[in-house]
Structures are given as C-alpha cells and as structure tokens.
Structure 1
Amino acid sequence: MEVRDATYEDVERIVEIHINAFEDFFLTFLGHKFLRLLYTGFISKGVLRVAVVDFEVIGFSAGTEQPDVFFSNLRKEKWLSFILAATPSLIKKPSLVIKKLYGAIFYKGDSVGRLKNSFLLSSLAVEPYLEGKGIGKFLINDLNEVLSEKRTSETIYLITDKNQNGSVLGFYNKCGFSIESEFKQSGQREMLRLIKSVEVV
C-alpha cells in the first residue's frame, strides 16, 4: 500500500468511498456533485491524501492548515455551484436542507483561537469492507509525516460525535488522539474536539 497526494482523477473514487463510509451523514445526503466540489477544493487549497493498493484508491484523508481561510475562500469561489449541486436534496427535504446547507456553506472550519498552528482533519474514510486492516491508522501516520515535513502545524484536531460513536472514538484513541473539549452543535448535538500532537519524524 502507498499513500500519495490525490489528483483530480481520484475525486470520483474519493466521493464513492465517502458515500460508502458515511452513508447516513448529511453531507452524503447532499449528493455526488456537492461532495465532488468539496473534495476538489481540498486538492487545490488543502491537503488530500489517498491510500492506494493495486492502483485502486481504498481510503483517503482530507484537511487544512487554515480552516477559517480554506472554507471562506471555497465559499466565495463556489457558493453558487454548491447550492446548485444540492438542489436535488433541497427538493426532497427543503426545510432540513436549507438550514443545514446554510451552515455548511457558511461553515468557518471550526477555527479555534487557542489551537494555534493546528491542522483540521476534516475527513478520514476507508472502504467499509476493508475496515480493521490498519488502513485508517496508516493514513493518520502518513498525515503526521506530511505535517512533520512541512513544520507548519503542531497539532492535528478533528470534530466528532460524543454519543453512540464508540468505534470511531476508540479508533482515534488508538491513533493517539485525546479529548480537547466538548461543545454542542446547533444547540443540541453533543460533539467532541479531539487533538493529537504532530510527532517529528
């Protein structure tokens, strides 16, 4: 297995893996086109890495060193494209999608003032049938190496659900992440911010 920078040709496969891995998530509900725009943005303005076996992409990691700038620029450049891409789901569930889409488009990347020089891991996914084979941990270690070489980030952090999320929390704990803080999203959903130091390689 090798891990490399994603190319534009990888985006369709990345979207497919996202949909398979995050079947019931809201971003998945927004559809292929929306996800394609999002992950294309990570290639040009963030970090998007893919795990490859026998020339097939089987997992990926996506994130940014400047979450506030990254999502702000993406919104300014592609806001209309994101809205158009979400139109089919908007027709299906207008009240839900309008609220969530507004939050997604105006998302500021969870930039946390006290977390200086931190990398936001926005997404990490592996084909579900390959879970438990160490690919996710391999991607985390790869990201650590990339950030260690760049020497611009001291920590990696991510946001995930607090409740009914034992397997995900267990995975990140094994990868060296710990709970940095807790908060409520949209006033209801309990979330955890996990953090891990970038180890110098």
Structure 2
Amino acid sequence: MIRRMEPVDVPAVVAVHLQSFPGFFLSFLGARFLSLYYSGICTASEGIALVYLNGKGAPAGFVAGTANPRGFYGRLLKRDGIKFALASLGALFRRPTVLFRLLRALTHPSGNPVGDEVAGLYSIGVLPELQGSGAGKKLVQAFLEQAAARGCRRVFLTTDRDNNEPVNGFYHSLGFSIEQQYVTPEGRRMNQYWISLADRKQP
C-alpha cells in the first residue's frame, strides 16, 4: 500500500534513508538533519511525499520531492535555515572539512528549475529486504501520478553516473532520459534525468 507521507512517518522514513544510503552525504549529516528535511517536504503545500507500507502497516519505503523545486528550497531555508545549521553541527565537529560542501548543499537548490509545471524527485528509498520487489517502481509511478495531478508536466531527478548501473537502468526503464551531465566540486559525475508526464510509460 502507498499513501501520503505524514509527519508521524518521518522517523521511519529517516531510518529507511539511513539504511538505503549508508556513507552518503545526507546520511552523514545525521538523523536530526534528515528529520527536518523530510518534515519540511511532507508538510509543504508543494510537497509530494509518499510512503510504501509493509505487511504490518509500517513505512518500509518512501519517495519525496516537490513541485516548483527552486521556490520550495528558498522558502524552506528562509524558514528553517537556522535549524538546519544547528542540526549540522555534529557532522561539522566530526569532519570540519565538510563545511563548504554543506554550504553548497544548502544553497545549490537555488539553481533548480523553477515553476509550478515542474516537479523534482529528490529522494527515494526502500528497506534492503524490499529491493527488487517492485516497491521502488510503484513509488516512482505514484510520485509521477501525484505530480501530474498537481498540474506538473515534467519531473527531474539526479543520480550518480559512475558505479550506479542498476539505479541508472531503473530510471531508464521507467522512461526517464538524461538531459544533463555534470561533475560536482568533489568529483562526483552526475546524471540529471527528466521525464515528460504526457509521454511516460504506464504501469
């Protein structure tokens, strides 16, 4: 079952994120930072956030993003920027060299596409035991349906280009196409995918 993400789901979503993305930057920033992030998405008027429930009715997967991506991040940082900074202190104490990367993470979304007809899919994860079960595909399809219902015409996402063949193949299989490739200051080569909601593959 897939339903809308609610604030009560955020701790479980954070737990799924940490298991899905060990070693990634957002995971390094910690559970408090992630809680603010996902709470901000699921309570925003432009938020598109869903959870996949297991047989016991507990969140075992999620997908999160928003319409008008640039507008969302600007408002989120204006409202909760200090909270995000405070939530990052533990990570900065553990590794002070991440400061500049953190500043970029908090300001980079200002370059995201803008407009109510565009949606950004920021994050998707499922528990390890659900990988390969089709849960991820169902979550993406549900996200696209919600984006279309909001009046969005296109959806974008980014993911790593290198050593990430299963994920890149997954998005290709769903009808996403690479429209941009770039390299982060840390040297990560990234793919930016887009899909037209009018042309997307149906389940």
Structure 1 runs of 4+ aligned residues shifted over 3 Å read: none
Report SS of the residue matched to 1:106.
helix
Residues 7 and 43 of structure 2 are in contact (CA less than 8 Å); yes or no, is this contact kept in structure 1?
no
Find the aligned partners of 1:36 and 1:122 in 2 and give their Cα distance: 15
Q: 1:179 to 1:51 in 2, by over 3 A?
A: same
Report SS of the residue matched to 1:176.
coil
Uncovered stretches (5+) of structure 1, i.e. residues with no partner = none
Report SS of the residue matched to 1:24.
coil
Identify which range, 67-76 or 9-18, moves more after superposition.
67-76
Partner of 1:125: 125
Structure 1 letter corresponding to 2:7 = Y
Find the aligned partners of 1:30 and 1:20 in 2 and give their Cα distance: 14
1:37-56 matches, within 5 Å, as 37-45=36-44, 46-53=47-54, 54-56=56-58
Q: 1:76 to 1:88 in 2, by over 3 A?
A: same
Partner of 2:107: 106
User: Offset of 1:11 from its aligned partner?
Assistant: 0.2
Compute the TM-score of the two structures, normalised by the length of structure 1.
0.92
Find the aligned partners of 1:100 and 1:13 in 2 and give their Cα distance: 26
Identical residues among aligned pairs (%): 31
Find the aligned partners of 1:106 and 1:47 in 2 and give their Cα distance: 21
Structure 1 letter corresponding to 2:120 = L
Report SS of the residue matched to 2:171.
helix
**1:90 pairs with 2:92:** yes
Find the aligned partners of 2:130 and 2:111 in 1 and give their Cα distance: 30
Report SS of the residue matched to 1:90.
helix
Structure 1 letter corresponding to 2:191 = L
Report SS of the residue matched to 1:153.
coil
Q: 1:110 to 1:138 in 2, by over 3 A?
A: farther
Identify which range, 103-112 or 7-16, moves more after superposition.
103-112
Tell me how large the CA RMSD over aligned residues is: 1.8
Q: 1:38 to 1:103 in 2, by over 3 A?
A: same
User: Offset of 1:117 from its aligned partner?
Assistant: 2.2
Partner of 2:59: 57
User: Offset of 1:199 from its aligned partner?
Assistant: 4.1
Find the aligned partners of 2:94 and 2:35 in 1 and give their Cα distance: 20
Q: 1:187 to 1:21 in 2, by over 3 A?
A: closer
Structure 1 letter corresponding to 2:119 = F
User: Offset of 1:6 from its aligned partner?
Assistant: 0.8
Find the aligned partners of 2:67 and 2:74 in 1 and give their Cα distance: 13
Uncovered stretches (5+) of structure 2, i.e. residues with no partner = none
Q: 1:116 to 1:42 in 2, by over 3 A?
A: closer
